[in-house]
């Protein structure tokens, strides 16, 4: 990580995604991909912002990485299984109430959440609501943070017309745009050219 920071241009800004042990249960395939081994009987201590030492240790690791990269933004992307339920809301309140606020925190709920609850929770916890701008509108945050997922399977390559719409709609805002599709690099470069006129 320190090498990444040293090799990046001085004005390059890193943004990171919070470690999945904070947001995702250990049944998530992302754990297997990352090669994480969960001790027997401890699976219920991971993910969903649970008030556990395992989740807080995952936060400490996330924070260390953000500090090493001098990142200003940390994205908390939740799986669709993280639903609008009272215990999940309470876990979020406890988690964000317990950690230091030296970063811009971005929350991407991906399950079925009402707009009213998302907006109220983001306002209460000072979170920027992250959304795919092709699928919805951001509900809270002076700054905007968009993740363009490229549809099912991440395979959609954005057309010039779609990128132009994105530029016209949100290009004048103070916003972050993350392309998370298979053609992310090419799409991001074309979008950057549009933004620069």
The region that residue 112 occupies, defined by phi over 0 for left and psi between -120 and 50 for alpha, beta otherwise, is beta
Architecture of domain 1-131: Alpha-Beta Barrel (3.20)
Please give the backbone phi and psi of residue 90, each rounded to the nearest 5 degrees, phi first. Answer: -65, -40
Q: For residue 10, what pLDDT is reported?
A: 85
**Average per-residue pLDDT for the chain:** 92
Percent above pLDDT 70 for the chain? 99
Domain parsing of the chain, residue ranges:
1-131, 132-197
Which one has a higher pLDDT value, 171 or 78?
78
Count the residues in the chain: 197
| Res. 65 pLDDT band, cuts 50 70 90 | very high
Query: Of the candidates 185, 118, 193, which has an alpha carbon nearest to the alpha carbon of residue 148?
Result: 185
**CA 191 to CA 100: how far, in whole Å?**
34
pLDDT band of residue 1 (cuts 50, 70, 90) is low
Instruction: With a cut of 80, say whether residue 186 has pLDDT above it.
Output: yes
When pLDDT is averaged across residues 2-17 and rounded to a whole number, the result is 87
pLDDT at 2 over 80: no
Spatial CA neighbour of 125 closest among 98, 150, 145, 144: 98
**Taking a C-beta distance cutoff of 8 angstroms, is the pair 91, 61 a contact?**
no
Q: Write out pLDDT tens, residues 12-61.
A: 899 999 999 999 998 888 777 777 778 788 878 999 999 999 999 999 99
What secondary structure, in 3-state letters, does the chain show?
Answer: CHHHHHHCCCCCCCEEECCHHHHCCCCCHHHHHHCCCCCCCCHHHCCCCCCCHHHHHHHHHHHHHHHHHCCCEEEEECCCCCCCCHHHHHHHHHHHHHCCCCCEEEEECCCCCCHHHHHHHHHHHCCEEEECCCCCCCCCCCCEEEEECCCHHHCCCCCHHHHHHHHHHHCCCCEEEEECCCCHHHHHHHHHHHHHC
The two structure tokens encoding residue 154: 């991440």
Residue in the structure block whose two tokens are 């992307």? 77
Q: Give 36 or 74, the one with higher predicted confidence.
A: 74
pLDDT at 63 over 80: yes
Whether the pLDDT of residue 86 is over 80: the answer is yes
| pLDDT tens-digit series, residues 119-144 | 999 999 999 999 999 999 999 999 99
Structure tokens at 48: 């969903």
Q: For residue range 166-184, list pLDDT tens digits in order.
A: 999 987 778 999 999 999 9
């Amino acid at each position: 990580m320190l090498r990444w920071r040293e090799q990046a241009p001085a004005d390059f800004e890193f943004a990171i995604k919070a470690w999945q042990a904070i947001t995702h249960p250990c049944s998530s395939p992302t754990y297997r991909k990352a090669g994480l081994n969960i001790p027997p009987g401890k699976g219920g201590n991971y993910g969903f912002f649970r008030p556990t030492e395992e989740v807080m240790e995952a936060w400490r690791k996330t924070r260390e990485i953000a500090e090493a990269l001098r990142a200003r933004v940390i994205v908390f992307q939740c799986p669709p299984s993280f639903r609008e339920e009272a215990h999940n809301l309470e876990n979020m309140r406890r988690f964000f109430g317990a950690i230091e606020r030296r970063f811009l925190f971005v929350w991407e709920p991906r399950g079925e959440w009402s707009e009213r609850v998302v907006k109220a929770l983001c306002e209460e916890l000072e979170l920027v609501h992250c959304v795919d701008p092709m699928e919805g509108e951001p509900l809270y945050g002076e700054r905007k943070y968009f993740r363009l997922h490229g549809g099912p399977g991440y395979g959609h390559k954005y057309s010039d017309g779609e990128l132009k719409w994105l530029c016209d709609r949100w290009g004048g805002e103070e916003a972050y745009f993350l392309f998370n599709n298979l053609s992310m690099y090419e799409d991001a470069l074309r979008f950057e050219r549009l933004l620069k006129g």
